[in-house]
Amino acid sequence: MIASLNAYRYRIWLPASRAPRVLIGLIAALMLALAWGATSGALGISPWALLTGNADALSVQVWWQLRLPRLLLGVVVGAMLAGSGAAMQGLFRNPLADPTLLGLASGAGLFVALWIVLFQGSGAASLYGQFAAGFLGALSVCVIVFSLAKRQGGGSAAVMTLLLAGLAINTLAGAGGGLLAFIASDEELRQLSLWGMGSLTNSLWRTTALALVLMPLALWLLLRSASELDLLQLGETTAHAAGLDAPRLKRRIVVATSLGVGLCVALTGVIGFLGLLVPHCLRLWLGPGHRLLLPASMLGGALLLVVADTLARTLGAPAEIPVGLLTSLLGGPYFLYLLMRRSRSC
């Protein structure tokens, strides 16, 4: 038992020898993407003019009030969605698990839509109520899906249960959203429509500041679970024999994922496939070791969302494409590719 455990640890942590190069490369790519996003848009801004203080007043105002909080929000939301996807794949031991496929984003979206239509007011209380609704929605769905998967044990039955549960929850959430859209006023209906497609337009400093406070907490909870997630890949019985407290690990990841995904949905709407696409690709490249996979997924998610949002702002300028549509255009074909690859291997 001890020998096999040590062999597994060596195999799963072997990519850590190249962790500095991978992480430095992702950080450098993210810095380039941020520089591109900072200077691109309907109004071109010169970074040199900003640094030297020679930029005009309009450029300075656009940079500080619009672009900077939007870039920061894109970084934390992308990191949260991809990091939670990687953590859930490790927790369920299923490479297809992610907040969108399992219904977490839909559940959070339904609760936020309920808040918008039934309880929406104005001011900070309404904003924080929307965040709380998103967290409760994601937490409720996560508990339901996790309970269903636990009853099935492991293997293909658990995988099928996860996918079917996610499909059922997404369908029910879609029906509930349609009912809310039917009874909503014209203003609420437009707000629901734009928010449901996913966008970073709600990137005011008061919302971005809240994300910068709460999301790093959720990301830290996920990062400190990396070694335990590696042990969990051996199976709960073996991991328990090695000293892992599996129930505590599950509670930590469930709370962190629900908090982060609920906040993301409340702020940006549903941005699909980011939690599946990034960690799945990196898992194929870097291996299953979560001590490297988790931070790499967070950086990769931030990179992808910043690039996608910059494209959304520039491709149709001065109009703006919802960023959730672009990520779905990337994730949908990739998911079909995974299904075709799986069918050929069977």
Under the banding of pLDDT at 50, 70 and 90, the label for residue 45 is confident
Segments forming the whole domain that contains residue 334: 271-346
More confident call, 343 vs 59: 59
Model pLDDT, residue 134: 84
Q: What gap in Å lies between CA 8 and CA 2, rounded to an integer? A: 10
pTM of the model: 0.85
In the chain, the percentage of residues whose pLDDT exceeds 90 is: 18
Q: Is 317 exposed, middle or buried (0-12, 13-18, 19+ CB in 10 A)?
A: middle
Pair 104, 161 in one domain: yes
Q: What is the tens place of the pLDDT at every residue in 198-249?
A: 888 878 888 888 889 889 999 999 999 998 998 888 877 777 777 888 778 8
Pair 180, 260 in one domain: yes
- Is residue 325 predicted with pLDDT exceeding 50? yes
More confident call, 167 vs 338: 167
Which of 5-14, 39-48, 116-125, 327-336 is the least confident region? 5-14
Residue at a domain's end among 236, 269, 302: 269
Pair 158, 232 in one domain: yes
CB 254 within 8 A of CB 143: yes
Model pLDDT, residue 346: 54
Pair 232, 218 in one domain: yes
Q: From the DSSP assignment, how many helices (H) and strands (E) are in the chain?
A: 16, 0
Number of domains in the chain: 2
Pair 278, 333 in one domain: yes
Pair 252, 275 in one domain: no
Pair 218, 324 in one domain: no
Around 73, how many Cα atoms within 13 Å sit in the side-chain half-sphere?
29
Pair 149, 280 in one domain: no
